[in-house]
Structure 1
Amino acid sequence: MPKPLLADPALFTRDLSGRRYVVTGANAGIGFVTAKQLALQGAHVVLACRRVAEAEARIAEIRAEKPDAKVEARALDLGDLASVRRFAEGINADFDRLDGLVNNAGVMNTPQQKTADGFEMQLGVNHLGHFALTDALLDLLKRSAPSRIVNVSSCFHDKAMGRDGDIHLDDLFFEKRKYDGWEAYAQSKLANLLHAKGLAKRLEGTGVTAVSVHPGWVRTNLAKHTMPLWVQDYVLRPFMRLGGLIEPWEGAQTTLHCVLSDDVPNHPGAFYSQTGTYRDRSANRGGWPLRSPNPKAHDDALIDALWKKSEALVASA
């Protein structure tokens, strides 16, 4: 695999004092690395996590490096829209600005489960929870413009373990077809990409830039239902490194570039990719931005149809 793409080091020397960011799933992996870097640069960062105790422990790590870091943990369960609404109400009440929302949290290849609202777990957490969260914070982001929304998608929106990424609007929750964890994951990650494109269309002229990213094949616990971390570390890591396994700092590079780079607003709705695995091998080197090889990623009718379906589902919960 090609070497991972790295952000301009000058971005990490910027003073972010006075800026405020929300990063979901920031208690581990690339979410934590992203939140930590923003905090080390002086930003006020909210670690939005389901397991607050874990987030508090990670905050202690940040403050060990920067004792005056402005970081806090707040409870957010993306699988429960009541929790999403409570979280957003708190942010809207306590913050007078929000410079960036990083929709990073996610689950991958889970057994068939439902969220608290009855949605298929992967689409519910990865897409619908973030769709509702973004909508609830959108006015604050607009008032704070220029601001950013970064959706963490995946190269698996294109193809996941042989399953083509697609959106089944007539059966989003696998009620009419046999459940397949990888197919459900691919669907949710394509939804993340289409959500960013839908946002870009609706936010034109507001100063809010929405994009999606593939962070790379990162060594994290996201794949715990498929490959425990100890397997990655002790058995497969030497081989997977040759196939593109990267560390969380490398995996956070694309997200951090999209949050901080002055060039990103020139590409609203774009997909930014770390090195990956695509049906078109020429895309494997990644690109900031990269045109997705999946034709569904460029289907305007699908973008609008998914938006309307998502609005209806969130409103019904």
Structure 2
Amino acid sequence: MAAVEGIFDTDSEDELPPGWEERVTTDGRVYYANHTEKNTQWVHPSSGKRKRVLGELPYGWEQHTDEEGRIYYVDHVTKITTYTDPRLAFAVTEDKEWRQRFDGHSTALQVLQGRDLTGRVAMVTGANCGIGFETARSLALHGAHVILACRDLHKGNQAAKVIRAERASVQVEVLQLDLASLRSVKQLADNFRLRELPLHFLILNAGLFGVPWQLTEDGLESIFQVNHLGQFYLTQLLEDILVKSAPARVVMVTSESHRFVELKGLPLTEEWLSPSSDRVWPVEQYNRTKLCNVLFSQELHRRLSRRGVCSNALHPGNMMATNLARNWWFYRLLFLLVRPFTKSLQQGAATSVYCGTARELEGIGGMYFNNCCRCIPSPDGQNERAAVELWEISERMLTARTSKFSL
């Protein structure tokens, strides 16, 4: 069918016909100016939709007023000056129907598109590589002051160097954190406290997978201490800073593998959590710690949400190209074989960034996410009694091992 004369022919319903301009009112409402007929209207001339811009200007942009009283915008990153509100690129349709904004194909940078996190401080554990690095990088490129908490200072500094090379103005710094040492956890918390910074996003990303049974210097099974107890301790040590910085969020990176554990109504014990011998298979122990992550996140939210700190847990994706499989050749080979079918690291970081920064999650927590969407965890992952037991056991284990530290 031939196009009707005078109707703009386009593949995009959001593209404006010739002679039209998109503008924004001071309260964020989008309107359309027709320079041919010298009139304006609230609805898009092609789609008939109404739109609105939300929130702050994107990172790097500032609003100014010229001598004639007209508002213009300056991007200090790209050195662009324009009279067009940059938030128009992220305008949302004013529909009554809710649609999921992001999914398993979304990247962390897409989740943060249009956001300015200037003045926000984030700490990401395990941030020198993999999902943690992409999480830290994405937050830093949108204005956040990011602390890379890494076991290997050299690798952490190399990661920070890569981020700075991408944009010199980013604020990133590295602190040493060995979750297999409770003393190291305490030292990181003390070092962070000396900086007198707030803390708005604590992203507990670090993890250990596939190592044979071994005890840490604190006498605990290594996978349990790195994946749960060390990060539990870090959160406790930083709790007062999180509360003072409220609204603040704790993001717990866990795994769908938490579903492979069954408590069968039995109470949790220290021996079940941190086996004193090698009778437990490393993958089984990893799954147990991932269940601990889900339970810890829920109980943390229950205890701190009234003080302005919310917590959510998430699954980042399956068998991505991270260093998680570095400890055994079989897992390295398996992860390599499935790599073409899994998420990229940027996609893997998307749900962490979403849980940490999404406006619609402000003040909301105690939930579990996958692909930037809320999911229901396993029945044991919803066990409130087990969550309380885990918290109490974790506190007892810490008290027995950290009483010698100066608190």
Which TM class, normalised by the smaller chain length? 0.7 to 0.9
1:98-125 CA-to-partner distances (Å, cap 9, x unmatched) read 1110000110121101112111111100
Cα deviation, 1:55-93, whole Å, max 9, x if unaligned, reads: 111111111111121101111111101010010011122
**Partners of 1:115 and 1:310 in 2: how far apart?**
16
Question: Which residue is equivalent to 1:257?
Answer: 354
Q: Counterpart in 1 of 2:370?
A: 273
Instruction: Verify the 8 A CA contact 2:123 2:203 in the aligned structure 1.
Output: yes
User: Does the 8 A contact of 1:7 with 1:257 survive in 2?
Assistant: no
Give 1:236's aligned residue. Answer: 337
**Could you tell me which amino acid in structure 2 is paired with residue 4 of structure 1?**
G
Residue 54 of structure 1 is matched in structure 2 by 155
Amino acid of the structure 2 residue aligned with 1:248: L
Q: Distance in 2 between matches of 1:176 and 1:224?
A: 23
Residue of structure 2 in register with 1:312 after alignment: 396
Alignment map for 1:26-175 (pairs within 5 Å): 26-159=127-260, 164=261, 166=263, 168-171=268-271, 172-175=273-276
Contact 1:49 1:73 in 2 (8 A): yes
1: CA distance, partners of 2:275 / 2:374: 32
Larger helix fraction of residues: 1
CA contact (8 A) 2:248 2:309 kept: yes
Which structure carries more relative contact order (alpha carbon 8 Å, separation 6+)?
1
2:306 matches 1:205 = yes
- Cα contact 2:107–2:349 (8 A) shared by 1: no
Report SS of the residue matched to 1:271.
Answer: strand
Q: 2:386 aligns with which of 299, 302, 317?
A: 302
**Secondary structure of 2:355's aligned partner:** helix
Amino acid at match of 1:148: R
Please identify the structure whose Cα radius of gyration is greater.
2
Q: The residue matched to 2:306 in structure 1 has which SS?
A: coil
Distance 1:10 1:107 in 2: 27
* AA of the residue aligned to 1:307: W
* TM-score under structure 1 length normalisation: 0.87
The CA distance in 1 between the partners of 2:277 and 2:104, in whole Å, is 40
Partner of residue 12 from structure 1, selected from 104, 113, 120: 113
Offset at 1:224? 1.7
* 1:30 and 1:249 in contact (8 A); partners too: yes
RMSD: 2.0
Distance of aligned partners of 1:204 and 1:241 in 2 relative to their CA distance in 1, 3 Å threshold: same
Kindly indicate whether the alpha-carbon contact (under 8 Å) linking 2:189 and 2:238 is maintained by their aligned counterparts in 1: yes
Query: What amino acid is aligned across from residue 223 of structure 1 in structure 2?
Result: A
Q: Which amino acid aligns with 1:262?
A: R
Quick check: 181-190 or 258-267, which moved more?
258-267
Shift in CA distance, 40/229, structure 1 to aligned 2, threshold 3 Å: farther
**C-alpha separation in 2, matches of 1:94 and 1:311:** 27
